Amino acid sequence: MTMCCFRGFAFTNYESRITNYGFFMSEMIATRDAYGKALVELGRENSRVVALDADLSGSTKTAMFGKEFPERFFNAGIAEANMVGMAAGLAAGGMIPFASTFAVFAAGRAFEQIRQSLAYPKLNVKVVATHGGITVGEDGGSHQSVEDLAIMRALPNMTVLCPADGPETAAAIRAAAAYHGPVYIRLGRSKVPVVFEGGCDFAIGRGATLRDGSDLTFITTGLMTAQALDAAKILEEGNVSARVVHLGSIKPLDVDLVLKAARETGAVVTAEEHSVVGGLGGAVCEVLSEGYPVPVERVGLRDVFGQSGTAEELLAHYGLTAGHLVEAAERVLQKKK
Amino acid sequence: MLNEDAVLDLEATARQLRVEILKMLNSARSGHTGGSLSAIDVMTVLYFHQMRHDPSNPRWEDRDRFVLSKGHAAPALYACLAEAGYFSRDDLKTLRRLGSHLQGHPDMNKTPGVDVCTGSLGQGLSQAVGLAMALRLSGKSSRVYTLLGDGEVQEGQVWEAAMAAAHFKLDNLCAILDMNGLQIDGEVAKVMNVGPLGPKFLGFNWHVLEVDGHDIQAIARALDDAERTEGQPTMIIARTIKGKGVPFFEHKASYHGVPPSDEELSQALEHLGHS
């Protein structure tokens, strides 16, 4: 490939596609819907699975669990701190609690309860935070968590997951239930394209190479993985070979897979629906700077809060589309030269 | 109702535990004296009369649970646990030392007999509520006891938990409020008046009792009353004296987070008839 050819392609052909989210995919599922279904299945299999919510059960989808297992569902009302504390007590009493609210309230308002009552004692609670990132949409910046991955990742004992799609969410919920310890799982509000069409073999701490490539690697999480797959296809038309590595497990991070990608492709673009500070981009840069430094471009919110808009408008406005990933790829390839 | 001998025995135990608390705090050179001494009579009745527990099997599933929500009174808890036989009394000398299983605040993963991690104020009642839910779901008759401070209830989370405990009708939950009237910065009523506490918990649909928190018989009767109460959690407001048992520590906010010096220790032990 030559940069010239790539640049020519990049600036003539892709822009019409960048607002067409999920261009190459058909089926769309919201991760929160997948969670609701998975939780009900877990509840049927294990009577120790309980669910808590803070007056958002219709939105987080824990209401599905509450409908089938009313005796194992606890609505804390609008009191997130107490919800997390109750979840801690339920876990200390042998239950497997799934506690849900929006990401901004879970990681933000209840942070200290998650720190002291869950992470410090390493209690077996799963905090499943929905409505993460800017695709919350019209509710605006007050409700769009762009910092939760960074906050949760900084906590010792905490496992942090951010699935790409519905099938991976179902698998991640199952893996979290099987793991003994605190887990933070970040889900979204909007429908997102299915990436793992043939099902998902999820394991905590393991990433997935969804597309091979040799010129650069997109290392992505959450809904940005679908965008990266789109971007890789666009780049392919310009003779750029982009690998796509999805990290559904932000912590522990699949260090070997990240280093392998750096060694084999020599350039990395990270992408997340989150601030570029402290989340996936931060985690990948920590690994690369210590283990195998290569040029990196971080795609995410540039240390700003979100605002009202539709999910698609916001992704475009804050530079989180396949088209922006193509641009980032171009920048990182310039640095690689 | 305790007979006279039982009361005398518990009083003697409480006196001995005060000695242990003062010694361990002096040895640690830091820690919370006043609130440990105000709480120890209630905790003595809990550990040596009221609660079902088995020091040889700290994780016994049918045990009653204790949540020290005012986690800075850890010395009082450690004194009880050592006295009960969860670990050696010699361990108390390692309080707050590097590598010790006796952390500055209670740690369920380090200390045998500790049921939850506490220390950040205002979180224990929520955990106690969760434990009570778990025990009820598991069909256990075990009860959950939690001890809060009166400064601690300035934390909003306490009232979220109070609301939930009544909402879920957790009659297997009994909270005790160690109302010594003082917090680090001074009198609770002056720092941030959270009273009157009885009416507040009544208003949150709790069964509320008020006792002298240094009267062994009264404490035991209140705990009995709580156990008989159905459909509601119980709050026992225990009127206590910060630093109780050592006259020169009593009623003093300045001894909230200060251990006894060597000289204060020897004087205190004399007062307690232990020289």
Domains and CATH numbers, chain B: 4-271 (3.40.50.970)
Q: Specify the DSSP class assigned to residue A139.
A: T
* Strand A96-102 versus strand A242-246 pairing type: unpaired
Question: Could you tell me if A100 and A247 lie in one domain?
Answer: no
Question: Could you tell me if A92 and A227 lie in one domain?
Answer: no
Q: What is the pLDDT of residue A18?
A: 45
CA distance B223 to chain A (A): 22
Residues of A in contact with B204 (CB under 8 A): none
What is the average per-residue pLDDT within B113-142?
98
Question: Could you tell me if A134 and A243 lie in one domain?
Answer: no
Vertex A5: Cα angle to A4 and A8 (nearest 5): 85
**A325 φ/ψ angles, rounded to the nearest 5 degrees:** -70, -35
Q: Of A147, A174, A193, which residue is a domain's last?
A: A193
Sign of CA dihedral A130, A135, A140, A146: positive
The interface residues of chain B toward chain A in range 53-82, judged by CB-CB distance below 8 A, are 61, 65, 67
Question: Could you tell me if A209 and A178 lie in one domain?
Answer: no
Place of tokens 């010792």: A156
Nearest to A191, CA basis, from A18, A22, A64: A22
In terms of CA atoms, which chain B residue is nearest residue A70? B137
Q: What is the pLDDT of residue B263?
A: 96
Contact state of B131 with A72 under an 8 Å Cβ cutoff: no
pTM listed for this prediction: 0.94
User: For B66-99, how does the pLDDT look when each residue is reduced to its tens digit (9 = 90+)?
Assistant: 999 999 999 999 999 999 999 999 999 999 999 9
Q: What is the pLDDT of residue B93?
A: 97
Contact state of A85 with B157 under an 8 Å Cβ cutoff: yes
* Rounded Cα gap, residues A37 and A46, in angstroms: 14
Residues of B in contact with A112 (CB under 8 A): 120
In this structure, chain B runs to a length of: 275
Q: Of A131, A163, A193, which residue is a domain's last?
A: A193
Cβ atoms of residues B244 and B250 within 8 Å: yes
Domain extent, residue A235, equals 3-20+203-336
Vertex A253: Cα angle to B110 and A262 (nearest 5): 150
User: For B156-202, how does the pLDDT look when each residue is reduced to its tens digit (9 = 90+)?
Assistant: 999 999 999 999 999 999 999 999 999 999 999 999 999 999 999 99
* Strand A159-161 versus strand A249-251 pairing type: antiparallel
Of B67, B108, B120, which is closest to A112 when you measure between CB atoms? B120
What is the average per-residue pLDDT within A14-37?
70
Residues of B in contact with A95 (CB under 8 A): 133-134, 137
For residue B255, pLDDT over 90 is answered with: no
A122 in reach of chain B (CB within 8 A): yes
Question: Could you tell me if A44 and A185 lie in one domain?
Answer: yes
A113 in reach of chain B (CB within 8 A): yes
Of A50, A117, A122, which is closest to B127 when you measure between CB atoms? A117
Task: Report the number of distinct structural domains present in chain A.
Answer: 2
Question: Could you tell me if A184 and A36 lie in one domain?
Answer: yes
Sign of CA dihedral A24, A30, A36, A39: positive
B9 in reach of chain A (CB within 8 A): no
A100 within domain boundaries: yes
Q: What is the pLDDT of residue A337?
A: 81
Q: Which two tokens stand for residue B27?
A: 């040895």
Q: Is A80 among the catalytic positions?
A: yes
* Rounded Cα gap, residues B240 and B213, in angstroms: 5
Residue tagged active-site, from A27, A71, A80, A197: A80
Domain CATH number, residue A240:
3.40.50.920
Q: What is the pLDDT of residue A17?
A: 45
Of A71, A88, A120, which is closest to B130 when you measure between CB atoms? A88
In terms of CA atoms, which chain B residue is nearest residue A75? B164
For residue B127, pLDDT over 80 is answered with: yes
CA distance B234 to chain A (A): 18
A186 within domain boundaries: yes
Distances (CA, A) of B101 to A92, B88, B178: 19, 11, 26
A227 within domain boundaries: yes
For residue B141, pLDDT over 50 is answered with: yes
Q: What percent of chain B has pLDDT over 70?
A: 100
Q: What is the pLDDT of residue A25?
A: 53
Q: Which two tokens stand for residue A305?
A: 């809060």
Q: Of A193, A225, A254, which residue is a domain's last?
A: A193
What is the average per-residue pLDDT within A57-65?
98
What is the average per-residue pLDDT within A261-290?
98
User: For A212-268, how does the pLDDT look when each residue is reduced to its tens digit (9 = 90+)?
Assistant: 999 999 999 999 999 999 999 999 999 999 999 999 999 999 999 999 999 999 999
* Rounded Cα gap, residues B173 and B235, in angstroms: 9
For residue A4, pLDDT over 70 is answered with: no
User: For A118-150, how does the pLDDT look when each residue is reduced to its tens digit (9 = 90+)?
Assistant: 999 999 999 999 999 999 999 999 999 999 999
A84 in reach of chain B (CB within 8 A): yes
Question: Could you tell me if A103 and A248 lie in one domain?
Answer: no
CB within 8 Å of B31: residues ≥ 6 apart: B24, B25, B72, B74, B75, B95, B96, B104, B257, B259
Question: Could you tell me if A118 and A12 lie in one domain?
Answer: no
Nearest to A75, CA basis, from A92, A88, A58, A91: A58
Q: What is the pLDDT of residue A16?
A: 43
What is the average per-residue pLDDT within A197-221?
96
* Rounded Cα gap, residues A330 and B20, in angstroms: 69
A81 in reach of chain B (CB within 8 A): yes
Helix (H) or strand (E) holding A257: helix A255-265
Q: What is the pLDDT of residue B79?
A: 98
Of A50, A92, A122, which is closest to B127 when you measure between CB atoms? A92
Contact state of B126 with A97 under an 8 Å Cβ cutoff: no
For residue B238, pLDDT over 90 is answered with: yes
Mean pLDDT, chain B, as a whole number?
Answer: 97
CA distance B16 to chain A (A): 31
